Structure 1
Amino acid sequence: MTMPADTGASVTMTLDEVRALARTVLRRQGLNARHAEAVAETMVAGERDGCASHGLYRLLVSAHTIASGNVVPDAEPVATDTAPALVRVDAKGGYAQLAFELGKPLLVEKARRCGIAALALNNCVHFAALWPEVEALCDEGLVALAFTPSHAWVAPAGGTRPVFGTNPIAFGWPRPGREPFVFDLATSAVARGEIELHRRAGRAIPEGWGIDPEGRPTTDAAEALAGAMLTFGGHKGSALAAMVELIAGPLIGDMTSRESLAADNGAKASPLGGELLIAIDPAGFLGAGAEEHIRRAEAMFDEITSQGARLPSQRRYEARRRSVAEGVRIPRVLLDDIERLRK
Structure 2
Amino acid sequence: MPDSASDVFDIPADVLQRETARIFRGHGLLPNDADWVAEALVEADLRGIHSHGVTRVPIYTERLARGLFNPRPNVCVVRQGPSVVSVDGDNGMGAVVGRRAVAAAVDVVAETGCAAVGVRNSNHFGIAALYAEQLVAHGFIALVCSNAPPTMAPHGGRSALFGTNPLAFGVPAPGERQILADMATSIVARGKIILAQQRGEEIPLGWALDPDGRPTKDAATALNGVVLPFGGAKGSAIALLVDILAAVMTGAGFGTDLPDFYNDLDRPGNLGHFLLAIDPARFGERDRFLERLGRYINMIGDCPPAEGFERVQLPGEVEAGLRRKHLSSGVPLSQDILLGLRQAAGHADVSLEL
TM-score by length of 1: 0.92
- Quick one: which amino acid aligns to residue 160 of structure 1? R
CA distance in 1, matches of 2:228, 2:258: 19
CA distance in 2, matches of 1:199, 1:268: 24
Aligned counterparts, 1:175-194, within 5 A: 175-194=173-192
The answer on whether the counterparts of 1:43 and 1:56 sit within 8 Å (CA) in structure 2 is yes
Match of 1:303 in 2: 299
The answer on whether the counterparts of 1:10 and 1:331 sit within 8 Å (CA) in structure 2 is yes
CA distance in 1, matches of 2:159, 2:117: 31
SS at match of 1:252: coil
Deviation of the 1:324 alpha carbon: 1.8
TM-score by length of 2: 0.89
2:37 aligned to which of 31, 36, 39? 39
SS at match of 2:265: coil
CA distance in 2, matches of 1:80, 1:338: 36
Distance 1:269 1:201, change over 3 A: farther
- Quick one: which amino acid aligns to residue 14 of structure 2? D
CA distance in 1, matches of 2:231, 2:312: 21
Aligned counterparts, 1:30-69, within 5 A: 30-69=28-67
The answer on whether the counterparts of 1:14 and 1:327 sit within 8 Å (CA) in structure 2 is yes
- Quick one: which amino acid aligns to residue 342 of structure 1? A
Distance 1:27 1:260, change over 3 A: same
SS at match of 1:83: coil
2:256 is the counterpart of 1:253 = no
- Quick one: which amino acid aligns to residue 330 of structure 1? L
2:223 is the counterpart of 1:228 = no
- Quick one: which amino acid aligns to residue 314 of structure 2? L
The answer on whether the counterparts of 1:10 and 1:329 sit within 8 Å (CA) in structure 2 is yes
Distance 1:176 1:301, change over 3 A: closer
Match of 2:349 in 1: none
CA distance in 2, matches of 1:143, 1:218: 39
Bigger shift: residues 152-161 or 259-268: 259-268
2:315 aligned to which of 300, 312, 315? 312
Deviation of the 1:270 alpha carbon: 8.1
Match of 2:172 in 1: 174
Please list every run of 5 or more consecutive structure 1 residues that lacks an aligned counterpart in the other structure.
Answer: none
The answer on whether the counterparts of 1:153 and 1:165 sit within 8 Å (CA) in structure 2 is yes
Distance 1:269 1:37, change over 3 A: farther
Deviation of the 1:113 alpha carbon: 2.3
SS at match of 1:340: helix
Q: CA RMSD in A?
A: 2.1
Aligned counterparts, 1:9-28, within 5 A: 9-28=7-26
Deviation of the 1:271 alpha carbon: 4.1
- Quick one: which amino acid aligns to residue 187 of structure 2? A
Identical pairs, percent: 31
- Quick one: which amino acid aligns to residue 118 of structure 1? A
CA distance in 1, matches of 2:41, 2:262: 23
Deviation string for 1:27-63 (max 9, x for gaps)? 3334343331110010111122121112111112212
The answer on whether the counterparts of 2:123 and 2:269 sit within 8 Å (CA) in structure 1 is yes
Deviation string for 1:83-111 (max 9, x for gaps)? 11112221100012222322323311322
Match of 1:215 in 2: 213
Deviation of the 1:268 alpha carbon: 8.3
2:128 is the counterpart of 1:130 = yes
The answer on whether the counterparts of 1:149 and 1:257 sit within 8 Å (CA) in structure 2 is no
The answer on whether the counterparts of 2:99 and 2:131 sit within 8 Å (CA) in structure 1 is no
Deviation of the 1:80 alpha carbon: 1.3
